[in-house]
Amino acid sequence: MKLLYFAWIREKTGREQEDIDLPQNVVTVNDLISWQKQRGPEFEDAFAQSDLVRVAINQTHVQHSESLEGAQEVAFFPPVTGG
């Protein structure tokens, strides 16, 4: 699965993207975020306020309860504000 990181999430993780094989017990976006927090201090920091993190699966915005089944790409980004 391809993971994409944007804005301050990219800055904190030090990565723009990565291809990764997820553990079998990671089946929802919530599971993925919890797993990310365990990958090291940079990920723990990036996902510390996980309620602020927005997620898209295959370029479609989803809730954190969404299943990862069929996901080829998951993107993480902060909320977007406009003026």
Cα separations in angstroms, 64 against 14, 42, 74, 82, 83: 23, 21, 12, 23, 26
pTM of the model as a whole: 0.93
When pLDDT is cut at 50, 70 and 90, the band that residue 5 belongs to is: very high
Q: Per-residue pLDDT tens for 52-69?
A: 999 999 999 999 999 999
Question: What pLDDT is attached to residue 79?
Answer: 79
Q: Per-residue pLDDT tens for 16-27?
A: 999 999 999 999
Q: Domain residues of the chain, as ranges? A: 2-77
Cα(72)–Cα(58) distance, integer angstroms: 6
Q: Higher-confidence residue: 80 or 41?
A: 41
Which tokens go with 3?
């993971």
Domain 2-77 has CATH 3.10.20.30: yes
